[in-house]
């Protein structure tokens, strides 16, 4: 704990943490020491982690990097976080992220962006940007983030670490601040595949507080990491031919494909006819769900309330106007629009039908292939400031990560190389629902 506290102090400029629980973490460490001495320590004894500011931790602030939750303290602990604590994990702090996990650069945080340690003028990705930087810069051993459309995988790719999102419903969402509930999943940011597997093993499983959490038995993922199987792997042809793809990432991908073939895996190009519809359907559905989920921040129940309010309606309006940032307001308005009576069928219903097609086609490909591989991102970490300059380009850059989210399948980003500037490149791997064990084992093959 002291080691990480020193690093956090030394690298404050990276803005990875919104709050550090120094005293408390040191006390936790003492307790864990005693348990180790007594032989009663849990499986994560001594593991120091940070949690993204969207996870509830009893009696601790929870803000989703938003002013609207200023002063709010959580009344309970998220199921996933509790399960880690039950195994004696030590939580060192609350990590910076995009406001309500909406973004891909950590720049929508009300508390300023986290910075990529490799190049401080570049973004760490997002929305779990602070969580990625914390692992990259050795400010904790592992981070727990959330992934709605790429928020652990994309920052992991930008920061040269491993980002893993499980099958939808594998981990309880109880205590995870809702962005788009039919997409949201808790995920991990780690240096090793072993750590990702172990953390999943402990967090996964049924939960009486989340009826959508799967009852399927949890596999001992961390004990099934070795494989000498020869796999069938598909890659979507157009992903490597798309215009926006950085040529160096393309080269790296081709190198990975050659390497896998040389190791006697079968690698084939496949067609996926819905590539152009992935990003639009994702943003219609997630903004719709967000506009509904975020209606609870009304100045009455949580956090901030505008002091300028004169009556009930002005309290709602002023609280939300002052409390939410620009990106969040934009998405609430877009979501409200696509759910409005006149446009519901044209946008929301249609996007749901497109989601179904994307899910079915993805599942069909995954019946023929054990894995689909693609770049995690079309570019390496981009410079700060892009969010204001080119908001649409930032949405379009989610092209590779949102497919797994629309389909609900598990996906992981593993580091596979660097561009000429020394910026990391991530390879993304998708597999069938609940096949996380083979996803981890294959990740060790490509990593």
Q: Is there a catalytic annotation at residue 151? A: yes
Contact 155, 126 (CB under 8 A): yes
| Phi and psi based region of residue 271 (left: phi greater than 0; alpha: psi -120 to 50; beta: remaining) | beta
Catalytic residue among 105, 127, 143, 169: 127
Does residue 149 interact with ligand GLN by CB under 6 A? Answer: yes
**Rg of the chain over CA atoms, in angstroms?**
21
> And the tokens for 96?
């910076």
Does residue 82 interact with ligand GLN by CB under 6 A? Answer: no
User: Which lies closer to ligand GLN via its Cβ, residue 129 or residue 205?
Assistant: 129
Catalytic residue among 52, 64, 172, 413: 52
Catalytic residue among 143, 151, 169, 405: 151
Q: Is there a catalytic annotation at residue 306? A: no
Q: Judged by CB under 6 A, which stretch of 148-156, 243-251, 257-265, 311-319 contacts ligand GLN?
A: 148-156
In the complex, least distance from residue 96 CB atom to ligand GLN, rounded to whole angstroms: 14
In the complex, least distance from residue 341 CB atom to ligand GLN, rounded to whole angstroms: 25
User: Which lies closer to ligand GLN via its Cβ, residue 178 or residue 315?
Assistant: 178
CA atoms of 114 and 109, how far apart (whole Å): 9
User: Which lies closer to ligand GLN via its Cβ, residue 16 or residue 102?
Assistant: 102
User: Which lies closer to ligand GLN via its Cβ, residue 101 or residue 267?
Assistant: 101
User: Which lies closer to ligand GLN via its Cβ, residue 109 or residue 127?
Assistant: 127
Please list every residue from 85 through 144 that binds ligand GLN, using CB under 6 A. 101-104, 127
User: Which member of 28, 116, 281, 286 binds ligand GLN (CB under 6 A)?
Assistant: 286
Please list every residue from 168 through 187 that binds ligand GLN, using CB under 6 A. 179
In the complex, least distance from residue 11 CB atom to ligand GLN, rounded to whole angstroms: 24
Mask 393-422, x = binds ligand GLN (CB under 6 A)? Answer: -----x------------------------
In the complex, least distance from residue 407 CB atom to ligand GLN, rounded to whole angstroms: 14
In the complex, least distance from residue 196 CB atom to ligand GLN, rounded to whole angstroms: 17
Which position has the token pair 């939808």? 168
Applying CB under 6 A, what is the total number of residues that bind ligand GLN?
13
In the complex, least distance from residue 195 CB atom to ligand GLN, rounded to whole angstroms: 21
User: Which member of 79, 148, 167, 291 binds ligand GLN (CB under 6 A)?
Assistant: 148
Q: Judged by CB under 6 A, which stretch of 18-26, 37-45, 149-157, 193-201 contacts ligand GLN?
A: 149-157
CA atoms of 337 and 214, how far apart (whole Å): 32
Does residue 239 interact with ligand GLN by CB under 6 A? Answer: no
Comparing every residue's Cβ against ligand GLN, the nearest one is 151
Q: Is there a catalytic annotation at residue 52? A: yes
Count Cα atoms within 13 angstroms, Cβ side, for 52: 34
In the complex, least distance from residue 148 CB atom to ligand GLN, rounded to whole angstroms: 4
User: Which member of 53, 99, 107, 147 binds ligand GLN (CB under 6 A)?
Assistant: 147
Question: Could you give the C-alpha distances from 394 to 58, 241, 383, in angstroms and in order?
Answer: 34, 19, 12
Catalytic sites, residue numbers? 52, 127, 151
Q: Residues interacting with ligand GLN, by CB under 6 A?
A: 101-104, 127, 147-151, 179, 286, 398
């Amino acid at each position: 704990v002291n080691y990480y506290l020193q690093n956090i102090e030394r690298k404050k400029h990276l803005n990875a943490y919104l709050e550090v629980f120094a005293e408390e973490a040191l006390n936790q460490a003492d307790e864990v020491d005693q348990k180790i001495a007594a032989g009663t320590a849990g499986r994560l004894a001594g593991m120091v982690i940070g949690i993204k500011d969207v996870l509830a931790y009893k009696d601790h602030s929870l803000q989703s990097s938003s002013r609207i939750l200023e002063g709010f303290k959580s009344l309970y602990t998220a199921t996933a976080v509790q399960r880690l604590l039950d195994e004696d994990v030590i939580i060192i702090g609350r990590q910076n992220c995009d406001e309500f996990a909406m973004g891909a650069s950590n720049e929508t945080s009300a508390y300023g962006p986290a910075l990529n340690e490799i190049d401080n003028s570049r973004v760490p990705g997002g929305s779990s940007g602070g969580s990625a930087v914390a692992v990259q810069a050795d400010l904790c051993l592992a981070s727990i983030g959330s992934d709605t459309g790429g928020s652990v995988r994309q920052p992991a790719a930008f920061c040269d670490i491993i980002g893993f999102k499980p099958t939808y419903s594998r981990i309880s969402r109880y205590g995870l601040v809702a962005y788009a509930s039919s997409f949201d999943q808790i995920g991990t940011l780690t240096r090793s595949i072993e750590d990702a597997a172990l953390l999943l093993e402990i967090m996964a499983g049924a939960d009486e507080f989340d009826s959508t959490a799967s009852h399927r038995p949890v596999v001992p993922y961390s004990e099934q990491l070795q494989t000498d199987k020869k796999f069938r792997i598909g890659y979507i042809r157009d992903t490597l031919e798309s215009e926006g793809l950085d040529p160096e990432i393309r080269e790296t991908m081709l190198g990975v494909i050659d390497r896998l073939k040389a190791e006697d895996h079968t690698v084939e190009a496949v067609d996926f006819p819905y590539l152009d519809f992935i990003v639009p359907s994702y943003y219609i559905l997630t903004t719709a769900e967000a506009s509904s989920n975020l209606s609870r921040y009304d100045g009455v129940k949580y956090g901030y309330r505008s002091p300028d309010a004169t009556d009930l309606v002005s309290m709602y309006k002023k609280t939300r106007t002052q409390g939410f940032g620009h990106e969040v307001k934009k998405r609430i308005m877009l979501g409200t629009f696509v759910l409005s009576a006149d446009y519901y069928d044209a946008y929301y219903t249609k996007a749901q039908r497109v989601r179904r097609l994307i899910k079915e086609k993805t599942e069909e490909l995954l019946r023929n292939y054990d894995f689909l591989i693609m770049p995690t991102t079309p570019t390496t970490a981009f410079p700060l400031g892009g969010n204001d300059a080119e908001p649409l380009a930032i949405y379009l850059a989610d092209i590779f990560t949102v497919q797994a989210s629309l389909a609900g399948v598990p996906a992981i980003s593993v580091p596979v190389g660097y561009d000429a500037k020394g910026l990391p490149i991530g390879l993304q791997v998708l597999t069938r629902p609940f096949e996380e064990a083979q996803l981890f084992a294959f990740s060790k093959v490509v990593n």
